[in-house]
Amino acid sequence: MGRLVMKFGGTSVANIDRIRNVARHVKREVDAGHDVAVVVSAMAGKTNELVEWCRDASPMHDAREYDAIVASGEQVTSGLLSIVLQGMGIQARSWQGWQIPIRTSDAHASARILEIDGAEIIHRFKDRQEVAVIAGFQGINPQTNRVTTLGRGGSDTSAVAIAAAIRADRCDIYTDVDGVYTTDPRVVPKARRLDKIAFEDMLELASQGAKVLQVRSVELGMVHNMPVFVRSSFDKPEDIDPHGTPPGTLICSEEEIMESHVVTGIAFSKDEAQISVRQIEDKPGVAAAIFGPLAEANINVDMIVQNVSEDGKTTDLTFTVPASDYARARDTISSAKAKIGYARLDSATDVAKVSVIGSGMRSHAGVAAQAFTALAGRNINIRAITTSEIKFSVLIDAAYTELAVRTLHTLYGLDQT
């Protein structure tokens, strides 16, 4: 017997038939003697519909009311799954974030979890053998008593946080893919599913464009050392041995992985924009004059490159921002032109970021140099480079994204089984 958290995303609960399929997965684990908490997302497309309703009602809507509206999608799913489970003879009840409670900050639409009281859920495991069906993506701010949401993909974060709160043995993330791959299989057909991946590597993959898990869910797993298992909800529930290990990827501490490869995977993101501030006077305080206003506008800056301008007397500063923040970032820099003192503002939206990730880079030299040589051999120009201990990223023209990913995937032997 063990204690599990099972999380199901929007495609897994897209309609009543799929909710019945989810219920069979839950029943399998209950019949095996496990205590089970289930975290569900809204049905596929429902959150987008609710967001559009808010925008139609008013483009400048109240963020508190926005959260009250978009949180309702998960409420519906949790209730429906509870009804189906009860119809199968399983004791179950739905829980909203405020009922547990999941206490969060007051940053509506992007709240952070502060604490979760899992005592009542644990009590009901012991006293009633009851399955807890929990609405993901939401919580409550204790000061305002208002419903909050955790941002898109927040149900992953809910699931890992609840797993830590109820001291679960594992958190299973059921999704429409059967694990974490070395890169996107739609781009590289030879991409391989990883049996295990370290929290640090998964954190980098998620933050650099891999869409399997929300970044904050991986952070929580690492902080609480909570094993997270990514698996497919479309495997037939009756074909899975609840005491065995089904196909999927275990995200765990690095110590649990016997053999660490130099490169674990390749991530990429086309949702990037590049901005270059030209001919700035090279003096203290200029960088602060540029990035200070961007920070105040909550615009996240990623890659930063500084070099001498063409005139040899001033400097150019180039950086990237999410494509969704591109217009605001340009406006913010333009508004601060008098304070910054630049000659010209250049920008590009047809760029992509390709990242190479692997804990093994710590002990291997020349990994990045190999990539630069291979990309040059394909006539792929690198606009900017950033590095960290276990990752490096290059900014390239978006048209070369797939070619770059395939080239690097082969270069580091990730094609090989």
How far is residue 252's CA from residue 198's CA, in Å, rounded to a whole number? 5
CA-wise closest residue to 267 among 138, 358, 368, 151 = 358
Count H helices and E strands in the chain, helices first: 13, 18
Which tokens in the block code for residue 383? 């606009």
Which tokens in the block code for residue 331? 């406006």
Does 265 appear as a known binding residue? no
Which tokens in the block code for residue 151? 């941002």
Residues 6+ apart with CB under 8 A from 409: 182, 183, 188, 190, 191, 266, 415
How far is residue 313's CA from residue 136's CA, in Å, rounded to a whole number? 55
Does 137 appear as a known binding residue? no
Does 174 appear as a known binding residue? no
Which tokens in the block code for residue 164? 């830590």
Does 7 appear as a known binding residue? yes
Q: Are 7 and 130 in contact (CB under 8 A)?
A: no
Q: What angle do CA 385, 364, 391 make, to 5 degrees?
A: 35
Does 17 appear as a known binding residue? no
How far is residue 261's CA from residue 367's CA, in Å, rounded to a whole number? 12
**Total length of the chain:** 417
How far is residue 191's CA from residue 124's CA, in Å, rounded to a whole number? 43
Query: What is the DSSP code string of 194-242?
Result: -SEEEHHHHHHHHHTT--SS-HHHHHHHHHHT--EEEEETTS-GGGS-T
Does 74 appear as a known binding residue? yes
Residues 6+ apart with CB under 8 A from 168: 2, 3, 4, 5, 37, 162, 226
Burial of 415 (0-12, 13-18, 19+ CB in 10 A): middle
Does 47 appear as a known binding residue? yes
Does 10 appear as a known binding residue? yes
How far is residue 268's CA from residue 398's CA, in Å, rounded to a whole number? 10
Does 412 appear as a known binding residue? no
Residues 6+ apart with CB under 8 A from 248: 178, 179, 229, 230, 231, 232
Q: Are 38 and 8 in contact (CB under 8 A)?
A: yes
How far is residue 47's CA from residue 52's CA, in Å, rounded to a whole number? 9
Pairing of strands 131-135, 35-40: parallel
Does 175 appear as a known binding residue? yes
Q: Known binding site for ATP: residues?
A: 7-10, 175-176, 181, 186, 211-212
Residue list for the binding site: 7-10, 47, 74, 175-176, 181, 186, 211-212
Q: Which residues are annotated as a binding site for substrate?
A: 47, 74
